[in-house]
Amino acid sequence: MRAAMARKPRMLRVIGALLWKDLLSELRGRALLAALVVFALLTVVVFNYALDLERTVRASVGAGVLWVTIVFTATLALNRVFAAEREHALHEGLLLAPVERLAIYFGKLLSGFLFVLLVAVVVVPVFALLYDLPVARPLNLAVLLLGTLGYLLPGTLLAALAAHARAREVLLPVLLFPVAMPVILSAVRASQEVLAGSAWVRIAPAFNLLVASDIIFLALAVLLFDQLVDA
Amino acid sequence: MQRNVGLQILSVGSGLLLLAALYLVFVYAPLEAVMGAVQRVFYFHVAAGWVGALAFLVAFVAGLLHLRRGSLLADRVALCSSEIGLVFISMNIVSGAIWARPIWNTWWTWDPRLTTATISWLLYAAYLLLRQGIEDPQRRGRFAAVYGVIAFASVPLTFAAIRIFRSIHPVVIGAGAPGAKGSFDMTPAMRDTLLFSLLAFTVLYGALLWHRLRLERLSERVAQLRLRILQA
Amino acid sequence: MVSPAAETTFYLWLAAGAFALLGGGYIALLVQRWRALQVALAGLQASEQQEVGR
């Protein structure tokens, strides 16, 4: 085989290096994170007025607002994830590097996940305050993590795919929203039940489906990401 | 292009089958007692939904084949079948909405089947948009196949997710549930009409797919010729 | 919930129209694309002949 394969860096180290690269370039003055936080806060506030929420429906509608905010934020983050590479013609360089291709996928997945989590750390407490909902329940935090991950799993794959197409910023949500529908629906449902204080029996169907969707999308990404790289 | 006997037979045959199915639907099948004439929408509505699902399945398998073997024919089949599936799913959704207006008293309701059909429509519209957005033919085929596989896999999950939503929420107007509004017992004549409509639509799908594949081949030929002349 | 016969017949014909519009429209689109491609092909072949003749 190729000589480069022998010196192939360990997958985990590569993932770490990619993550570090994205974080560094963010710290060096890319305003993505700040813009995402402000955007997410705006969404939360706008929905509060657009829906004119009453106390009685807050648990069910509030979960929807929370998830729309996360999904919008994640979509914006995804659009940026591969954009930086493309602008600096780094994409080809990355793909030519003797790196396990899956390492690229997981590096990008984790950096996207980290960005959304950083935004959520600011926005979710504000949301809890404004909507007066027990967002910090452990089960709801689990749903938030699993749902965000479930959205980014196909999202990272499709962002890599859309990065080569025309009108990619518009194309990504068009491709991703219908695919991620099971994740969004089950996450909203699970959050609704948790926020309303339901028993586990009522939470379980949505929660289990969310976990199942995560696993299926993970398996698909692992199987298919190779195909996105020119042989 | 040269005459193609097999295709001509298939085209004429599907036309005749469609005419016969129309006769069965409008004349042979009995008038449903409760719903009246509008119930006759049912036969072609189900047939269109079936062909839509079949076309997406064919596109999915063709996409997998393309990823496996790099077969260009498989990629062409995936494109053509998705496009035809989109047309039939559109028929299914529109005719369903028209039937629902007098029966359910509303054009639309977010029931699992309706929502799943709509999401499938969005998925395959996105699939065609993706194909239009990528210029390099090899990359287009591969990327489209990847998206096709993910899209197809997500449809059953979506159906399951909506079921969870609806099983807890009150079902205002439901299909599938016992006592669903607008269900009826099929008489043998109705069943035969439905089966024949399914057959006619399936043959029609085959004919359309063949025609569409020929169109795609011609389009590729024209593109190649244009390239050759530009390079000369 | 029984609708008057005239009303349900109206919706039946509406649905029939929708089927015809979508199916017929798609087939018409295919025919139109086919014709356009034939014209383009003929034009290209003619100009290729010219190239050869020169």
Average pLDDT over residues A31-60: 80
Average pLDDT over residues B6-16: 93
Kindly tell me if the per-residue pLDDT of B170 is higher than 50.
Answer: no
Q: Which tokens sit at A106?
A: 């997981």
Kindly tell me if the per-residue pLDDT of A7 is higher than 70.
Answer: no
> CA-CA distances (angstroms) from residue C30 to A118, A221, B62?
51, 36, 22
Kindly tell me if the per-residue pLDDT of C1 is higher than 60.
Answer: no
The mean predicted confidence, pLDDT, of chain B is: 87
Examine residue A58 and state whether it is found in any structural domain, yes or no.
Answer: yes
Average pLDDT over residues A118-138: 89
- Which chain B positions have a beta carbon within 8 Å of A216's beta carbon? 153, 157
Kindly tell me if the per-residue pLDDT of B169 is higher than 50.
Answer: no
Q: Render pLDDT for A139-179 as a digit per residue (tens, 0 to 9).
A: 999 999 999 999 999 999 999 888 888 887 889 999 999 99
In whole angstroms, give the CA distance from residue B120 to residue A178: 8
Percent of chain B with pLDDT over 70: 91
**What one-character-per-residue DSSP string does B12-35 give?**
HHHHHHHHHHHHIIIIISPPPTTT
How many CB atoms lie under 10 A from the CB of residue A20?
A: 12
Q: Render pLDDT for B109-124 as a digit per residue (tens, 0 to 9).
A: 888 888 889 999 999 9
pLDDT computed for residue B175 by the predictor = 46
ipTM for the predicted complex comes to 0.85
In whole angstroms, give the CA distance from residue A7 to residue A97: 11
Q: Whose structure tokens read 């086919």?
A: C34
pLDDT computed for residue A49 by the predictor = 77
Q: What residues of A are in the B interface, CB distance below 8 Å?
A: 154, 157-158, 161-162, 164-168, 171, 174-175, 177-182, 185-186, 189, 202, 205-206, 209, 212-213, 216-217, 220, 224, 227-228, 230
In whole angstroms, give the CA distance from residue A159 to residue A77: 10
Percent of chain A with pLDDT over 70: 84
Kindly tell me if the per-residue pLDDT of B15 is higher than 90.
Answer: yes
In whole angstroms, give the CA distance from residue A26 to residue A17: 14
Examine residue A1 and state whether it is found in any structural domain, yes or no.
Answer: no
Our separate counts of H helices and E strands in chain B read 6, 0
pLDDT computed for residue A93 by the predictor = 56
Kindly tell me if the per-residue pLDDT of B174 is higher than 50.
Answer: no
Average pLDDT over residues B1-13: 83
Which residues touch A192 (CB under 8 Å, ≥6 apart)? A59, A60, A63, A64
In whole angstroms, give the CA distance from residue B67 to residue B12: 35
Q: Which amino acid is residue B107, in one-letter code?
A: W
pLDDT computed for residue B180 by the predictor = 61
> CA-CA distances (angstroms) from residue B144 to A104, A153, A156, B134, B213?
21, 18, 16, 9, 17
- Which chain B positions have a beta carbon within 8 Å of A230's beta carbon? 139
Q: How distant is the Cα of B225 from the closest Cα of chain C, in angstroms? A: 7
Range of the domain at A104: 10-228
Cβ atoms of B25 and B38 within 8 Å: the answer is no
pLDDT computed for residue B111 by the predictor = 80
Nearest chain B residue to A220 by CA: give it. Answer: B150
Kindly tell me if the per-residue pLDDT of B178 is higher than 90.
Answer: no
Examine residue A4 and state whether it is found in any structural domain, yes or no.
Answer: no
Q: Render pLDDT for A131-145 as a digit per residue (tens, 0 to 9).
A: 888 888 899 999 999
Domain boundaries of chain B, sorted by first residue? 42-221
In whole angstroms, give the CA distance from residue C26 to residue B84: 9
- Cross-chain residue pair B139–A230, CB shorter than 8 Å: yes
Average pLDDT over residues B178-192: 74
pLDDT computed for residue B108 by the predictor = 84
Q: How distant is the Cα of B79 from the closest Cα of chain C, in angstroms? A: 14
> CA-CA distances (angstroms) from residue A8 to A3, A5, A105?
9, 5, 16
Highest mean pLDDT among B20-34, B99-113, B165-179, C20-34: C20-34
- Which residue from C15, C40, C44 is facing B99, i.e. has the nearest CB? C15
Average pLDDT over residues A216-223: 94
- Which chain A positions have a beta carbon within 8 Å of B145's beta carbon? 227
pLDDT computed for residue A87 by the predictor = 57
Cβ atoms of B187 and B36 within 8 Å: the answer is no
Structure confidence at residue A90 as a pLDDT band (50, 70, 90): low
- Which chain B positions have a beta carbon within 8 Å of A174's beta carbon? 126, 129
Which residues touch C40 (CB under 8 Å, ≥6 apart)? B222, B226
Average pLDDT over residues B43-65: 95
pLDDT computed for residue A220 by the predictor = 94
Which residues touch B173 (CB under 8 Å, ≥6 apart)? B104, B105, B106, B109, B111, B181
Q: Return the higher-pLDDT residue of A83 and B136.
A: B136
Helices (H), chain A: 3-6, 11-27, 32-51, 58-87, 90-96, 101-131, 138-162, 168-179, 181-195, 200-224
- Cross-chain residue pair C44–B226, CB shorter than 8 Å: yes
In whole angstroms, give the CA distance from residue B76 to residue B214: 10
pLDDT computed for residue A177 by the predictor = 95
Of A6-10, A198-202, C35-39, where does mean pLDDT reach its minimum? A6-10
Examine residue A3 and state whether it is found in any structural domain, yes or no.
Answer: no
pLDDT computed for residue A4 by the predictor = 46
Which residues touch B23 (CB under 8 Å, ≥6 apart)? none
B175: left (phi over 0), alpha (psi -120 to 50) or beta: beta
Q: Which tokens sit at C25?
A: 């429209």
- Cross-chain residue pair A189–B160, CB shorter than 8 Å: no
- Which residue from C1, C3, C22 is facing B94, i.e. has the nearest CB? C22
Kindly tell me if the per-residue pLDDT of A125 is higher than 80.
Answer: yes
Q: What DSSP designation does B39 have?
A: G
Kindly tell me if the per-residue pLDDT of A100 is higher than 80.
Answer: no
pLDDT computed for residue A133 by the predictor = 87
